[in-house]
Chain A
């Protein structure tokens, strides 16, 4: 097997944090090499060192394969069109000007390759986050590089898109491309990995073969076994705390009726574009709606008024942490206290940070944290606000298995205290495993409701169904 890139003894220090500590990595032609590790283990840092974004303090990197990297945080220009983003930096030109005709001709081919059906002239900011991710992937594919590195590309994708991506990766592998793949979804690793390097606290703690078991991966990566991946503890159902009735926004969602009772976790499943996030945002008062009502603990909420929603006891953890959840320039502590400025409580703040096991210091800028730890900060902010009803929109995106379980335990604790949780998630095992009931949305409507212990097939059958208008 041909080694395309050989890295030996890579060490990288950020101030007091040793992000990488003597890591070895081989990227071979025709191989998918998975990097596995907890949040903050150093995966992205290793990728950035390979890509030349960070310089390394010690170690050697050899090999001259061309490199294409899909970074963990999206790097698209929101105000530019899909086509312009695809060819950014290498826009086709004619007489010194951008050749729009050529761009429009080539863009559909690329989009087709990743199975994305969007208008190349649409602005990127108008697309969902999963679609944006697919555009990043298409852009990287266009470079025809010898080595392709994908840092958690599937975190924001749903199953269909993930399947598509894994297919593309398998194809590239057959064509002799060397791939590095980072993901927290162990099932994906079992489907595609040829080799798995496990990182813990910046050190490589083992290299596994393609047939490694989930248990084995978890133990190596977390350092202890995890008994139950979805430890939902059901509670007695109390009075209704959130009631969304006849909720309608023209062209986006229609006739949505959802009730969440005290002590309950209600899941909302569905494909990307089914309107789940839109319902959550409108209920929280971020966006407007046309008909219907939202009640929290029996009290109707005024529309379009986030302050009133929070006062009534509602909270929302948004899906896009960088765009909507975090103030990147501010510190961890400042972000945590953002929703509770009026009555801040230092002790509880440290308490929550500890409980979530956020890897970083309270006074450290949030942008220095690893992706998964940033996600924990967004969740921590709302746990601190202690709402009666918390809406979680894709809460464990990019969070490692160990930390996921901790977030689930926090959900359990909330419901044990008589709070209610509305869990929007594209992660089917999660939404099924942690919800007491699952509402499935399709095309902006409620397609059906399933009791606890529904199967993935049942959910998918509802999610893809066509509803006659």
Chain B
């Protein structure tokens, strides 16, 4: 051990590093035993579709959280993007979402606002704008957006494929691009990142813009599935997105987080919701259980890190 050497990956290490995955499998097993219909192909596809919107949103959130920030505005941005998409065209919605993210980034890096405050403001502004342009009414989506929520073939829903596509993109950005490496540096030690020549402010612009863009994509998928964009769509989704990222093992203090973790986190939430429905747990109790599971996941993770 005198000099630098490489180590191999072992199965034990894989499990230790993927506690959330083990949790997901365990959860699925318990539900399957109690209610075998859980394992039906149709139901599994449903779970995937249910996970898709939160997952796509949570992938964008992963960038922000890895870089040591938080984005509370993703639910509202999703709704605004979907509404703009319904009133004009899908791509315009994406642009609007990215722009909202850019504004977040500018407020945070150049206005020096804490991310919590800047994105809390955007949460309100974007939701308000959605209500203004929709005049409080739901609007039907056009064929392109509706296609996003449809099935390519029986049992092959497009949202599921889109989720996997965004998963791949997120993994690539985090591990293979300079922007991704910089996210970890900024979240781990912003001062060290700055002294290493990283333009921290510019990077933050891109990071929040990405989060806005991903939120917009999630909003369009949601609208496509429902066939319409509603003024109150995706309200509260930001909390699910954050929960998915944290269940996936990311640290809210920055510098830690992975695409696989977030995917698993989103699946955990979807499996849980689906399972509780199948087991006919009353909706009020469902919330209690979901909250408990989030706390449990975070606890296990912090125990594992010790």
Contacts and interface: CB of A to CB of B under 8 A. Distances in A.
Interface of A: 16-17, 284, 286, 306-307, 309-310, 316, 318, 323-330, 332, 334, 337-339, 341-342, 350, 353-354, 357-363, 381
A172 to B, nearest CB: 34
Contacts of B5: 361
A341 B184 contact: no
A326 B192 contact: yes
B6 A325 contact: no
Q: Which of A17, A329, A332, A337 has the most CB of B within 10 A?
A: A329
A341 B256 contact: no
B182 interface: yes
A466 B86 CA distance: 74
A334 B4 contact: no
A68 to B, nearest CB: 25
Contacts of B4: 332, 350, 353-354, 358, 360-362
Contact of A325 (B182, B184, B192, B256): B192
A339 B193 contact: no
Contact of B189 (A307, A309, A327): A327
A326 B4 CA distance: 18
B181 interface: yes
Interface stretch (B37-45, B46-54, B194-202, B205-213): B194-202
B185 interface: yes
Nearest to A343: B178
A362 B4 CA distance: 6
Interface in B148-182: 178, 181-182
A318 to B, nearest CB: 6
Contacts of A334: 181, 184-185
Contact of A307 (B178, B181, B199): B199
A54 to B, nearest CB: 12
B6 A338 contact: no
A329 to B, nearest CB: 4
Interface residues of B, number: 28
Contacts of B251: 329
Given A307-B199, A332-B4, A358-B3, 17 more contacts: A16-B7, A306-B195, A323-B191, A323-B192, A328-B189, A329-B189, A329-B255, A330-B184, A334-B181, A334-B184, A339-B196, A341-B178, A342-B178, A350-B4, A354-B3, A361-B7, A381-B196
Contacts of A318: 195
Nearest to B197: A310
B11 to A, nearest CB: 16
A137 B251 CA distance: 33
B188 to A, nearest CB: 3
A353 B178 contact: no
Contact of A362 (B1, B6, B185, B187): B6
A324 to B, nearest CB: 5
Chain B interface, >50% SS class: loop
Interface in B133-156: none
B2 interface: yes
A338 B194 CA distance: 10
Nearest 4 A-B pairs (CB), nearest first? Answer: A327-B188, A329-B255, A310-B197, A353-B4
9 contacts: A309-B197, A325-B195, A327-B188, A329-B255, A330-B255, A354-B3, A354-B4, A360-B4, A362-B4
A329 B194 contact: no
A243 to B, nearest CB: 21
Contacts of A357: 2-3
A286 B194 contact: yes
A188 to B, nearest CB: 27
B197 A306 contact: yes
Contacts, number: 88
A337 B196 CA distance: 9
A340 to B, nearest CB: 9
A469 to B, nearest CB: 32
Nearest to B251: A329
A119 B6 CA distance: 49
A129 to B, nearest CB: 14
Contact of A327 (B7, B178, B192): B192
B3 A338 contact: no
A306 B194 contact: yes
B151 to A, nearest CB: 42
Given A17-B1, A307-B199, A323-B191, A341 B181 contact: yes
Contact of B195 (A17, A316, A359): A316
Contacts of A354: 3-4
A329 B188 CA distance: 6
A363 B17 CA distance: 14
A359 B1 contact: yes
A458 B185 CA distance: 43
A328 B188 contact: yes
A67 B160 CA distance: 59
A365 B204 CA distance: 24
Given A17-B1, A306-B197, A354-B3, A341 B188 contact: no
A360 B7 CA distance: 11
Contacts of A309: 197
B293 to A, nearest CB: 26
Contacts of B187: 329
Contacts of B191: 323-324
A324 B255 CA distance: 15
A97 B120 CA distance: 34
Nearest to B190: A327
A316 B189 CA distance: 16
B199 to A, nearest CB: 6
B216 to A, nearest CB: 28
A337 to B, nearest CB: 8
A317 to B, nearest CB: 9
Interface string B94-109: 0000000000000000
B201 to A, nearest CB: 11
Contact of A330 (B178, B185, B197, B199): B185
A325 B192 CA distance: 5
Contacts of B195: 284, 286, 306, 316, 318, 324-325
Contacts of A307: 197, 199
Contact of B3 (A323, A328, A353): A353
A341 B197 CA distance: 10
A225 B184 CA distance: 42
Nearest to B185: A327
Nearest to A40: B1
B175 to A, nearest CB: 11
Nearest to A381: B196
